[in-house]
Structure 1
Amino acid sequence: MTKMKVYQHKLIDNIRKKLSEWLSSNDEIDSSEVRRFFHSISGTAPTIDLEKIGRLASESMKIVDRRGEAGWNRKSIQDIISPLLKECYQFEYENEIDFPMMADINEKRKIVFLVENDTSFLMLVKDYLEKRGFHVFGFTDADKAISALYDVKPDCILLDIFLGDQNGLDTLSHITKTVQKQYVPVVMMAENNSDSLRMESYQKGADDFIQKPFLLEELFIRVNRQIERKGFVDHLILVDELTRLYNRKYLRNSFTQLCAKQWEEELALSIAFLDLDYFKNVNDQYGHLTGDTVLKEFSRFVQKRIKPEEVLVRYGGEEFVLLSPGISAQKGKERLEKILNEFSAFAFEAEGGQEFTCTFSSGIVEVDAYVSTSLSYWLDMADLALYRSKENGRSQVTVFDRSMSSSHKAVSVALLEDDPIMQVLLANTIKQTASDHNLPIEISKFESGEQFLESGWINQNQKGMVLLNIFMDGMSGIETMKQADFNPFTVLMLSAETKKTEMIQAIELGVADYVIKPFSIQSLENKILFYLKKLTDHS
């Protein structure tokens, strides 16, 4: 699922929950609450490509304004929300085949994409393969299948050559281009078994061809064989031959998945460098075969003492990287110190019978995906902490702190937005823009002006950027700005309305710029980048 689809589904879900809440209540609904609801949707929906829903919300808001301050009962609210509710159901119907934003990295079942426009046949094959242990995502639309490849990495793709108005061979070409940096086997299915059709399929990248009708057991055997072959290829590409750990090629994809998981579930994530101390001396004194033994034993030693969901990677030479989801930097430090103490007592035996011991140094940093999703950014932090461990005598673990490098001072960003969908969209846009241009940031999110002022964020930061919704539940953006000194900060105002008096008031209060909802994501990225660079250049 693309990120835009994620936002769309979340907004639709929130709309339906609110409408269901109103329709199931006998209490009168305050006019201001109804207006805030439609105002929020009218700005958010068009921004995430739900123009019709945004238009319906704007029309409903006008009806609310004409009605004045009178409250709304269940009957009156039902009349005004019916078109919006109908459009939400229509969207869900057209997007009925759903799948997770990313595959669980610990999921043991292999993933199969099944692209077939015959719904009955799709369900038959899907049910059978799932009973045999596969996780099958079914698509009747080839474009949706191709889009899904950016978020879910299948182990095999089953593709019908004849997809109604779409051509399966054209889809095959798109798929092979999309997954060209990975190995994902594709099995073509067709009733026509002509030589020319099979040859063209193989020329365009198919790995197998099966004629309909076929035995489901035969299909399972062929798919399973392709998945086993993929496992062998992946092993050759991604696994270090000596230690049997994943290599640095695997590291980037794994880190990206864990960052996305952290963003979705708000889990801790730490990354650590582990470097064997004086390893060159081991090679020089006892020989490279003994050195290889140390690397293999160290890998096994650490692997046995970490959780299954953690990822230990041989980064190169005697350097290893440990990704630890759900573990803070401080807890990671304590655990690594325990491993270090145990490992330092582990006795190695050289070919001549001499016994010796080894230690390692480590640097660890806690990842914040809202600051950056760049792997190199966080590896640099962990490396600085590792350098401090070596500088202080080795055989120790150090947690990174900002004092280790003044060049990595982050720009503080406050985001005041009461619409949860818009808040997620804005936070992710800011984060991604900063990450793409290696600009470190620290985002703090607030759902109201009151919450922001009570947090003391302004007193804790000498400068930074504030994105502020002009129309929030409770204290408005204008009222929030009147309550504190925003002069040291760059303020961007967000609004779904363009009332001249309010905009003039906002500018007089020190707003640097404003963004009218619905806005183009590219336009917002450009503005955010401009102001972030200004703040970074003057830091």
Structure 2
Amino acid sequence: MNKYRDMLIAHLIRQLEIWFEESESISAAEVHMLLHTVKGTAGTIGLSDLQEAAELLMEKQKDIEDKWWAPAELRTFMVDFVKIVYNYHNNEELRMDGEDLSSAVIDKLKPLVLILDDDITLLMYLKEQLEQCGWVVVATRSPDKAISYFHNLNPDCFIIDYFLPHTNGLRVMESIQDIIRKQLASTIMISVDNDRETRLNAFRMGADDFLHKPLDMEELIIKLQRKFEKKRWIDQSLFIDELTGAYNRKYLADHYAKLQLEYERSKKVFSLVVIDLDHFKQINDVHGHLMGDYVLSQFAEYMKTNMRPTDVFTRYGGEEFVVLLDQTRGIEAMQVIERLRKGFERLVFTSNSERIPVTFSAGIVEYSGEYAEMKDWLSRADQALYLAKREGRNRAVMADSNSMELPGCVLRVAVIDDDPIVRTMLAESLQSLLGQTKNADIRTYRGGESFFEDAWHTGGESYLIVLDGMLQGMDGLEVLERIRMIDKPSRYLVIMLTARGSEDDIKKALDLGADDYMTKPFSLEELESRLIRLAGQLG
């Protein structure tokens, strides 16, 4: 992280020298843009005093937006800010409280809270307060997006407003009632109306709790803590995936450890297979999530019925499954999976009398003891799965036992930010992070114009876009609006970076289809966690 702080300080030193030594006058707009950049970046990389100084100057300059500064006058105005910059410049190294976030491990076990409310102010407040508890919070004003997030992200708790424009919380809950029960997700209904009938209606529809607005945050947080503790205990006690009836990831890890130990003792080989349903996102988008859930459950039922008794079938996440085949070499595993694949493609799925073709692709690897950790073997099988997808899907591919190189790129990631430090920092961090989980092609752009000029932005199947809300030229909202006009806009998942307190911009971003937002300064660890969750919806 030190190098990013050094880069920021060096950039500021150069800019201040240009203003104070080489310029005849400096516009307030230039000063505002620099301070806005510092406000977002400094706090993120641990320079909180510099962030606070920038915020103070921005507040002072509010009423003089059309001003042109003389260098000497600007130097006096920014004196405290300049002192902080040069103080850091003269230190040998800049330190940050806690660990360097670039080495932080993403905790995928953090509780996830989904919030649906049309009050943007309350939405922002709840998101900020709950994130301070260390929880991941996804907030939206759109009932349709909330339903989509519920299916894709599997939240631990769903907080939903009773009164919503054009609908109400009861109808939203009714549409996902079955999946709520299967996922053991807690639901909390909130409402300004606290009469007896309103509360009873919420409980009749399946709400676990009801809170009256204005909310008592201490009460809400304590209740969430208790719910998360209970769910954690249940999750650790059960080995079965609620939706599909397949074994879950905990059972997968335990069973893998047993097979690995048996290999070390007796050299009994086994094979690992990663399976992914082809074009599953399209099924969800076109036919709805209920149909998607039905396909997942029927696929699991087919596999459990037709696999050998010794094979272990697990749901790894979303539409991805993992099979462990005990005492089975790779060639034999290929025969087993091919038999299952050919049988499954003959099954008939229909929606509104329309036939839906459903197939799967698979990547297979034979365990040889070369690598100890399961993630290494999953990575090999995942590479073979990618080749199966690239070669046309509906096929199985054996992993190359002599190669661990990535065969190509599946996920395209764009960082659009006019701050070169933020671009560099995010690109390096995301390359390290996403490279561990999926094939990623990461590119950076200083603005929307350069992003749209690059043909790369339309040539892929899946995109994750980190988009700064305030850009020179085409601003972030314009970029977002144009992205949503591209053919097949569902390929693009967008997370907006906004200035803290910019309520109108956040509302517009969510209305235009932003999938998530974060306020600057942001935690790199938290941003990476959000992107990992969003990436799970693609590919």
Higher relative contact order (CA 8 A, sep 6+): 2
TM over 0.5: no
TM range (shorter): 0.3 to 0.5
The TM-score normalised by the length of structure 1 is 0.41
The TM-score normalised by the length of structure 2 is 0.41
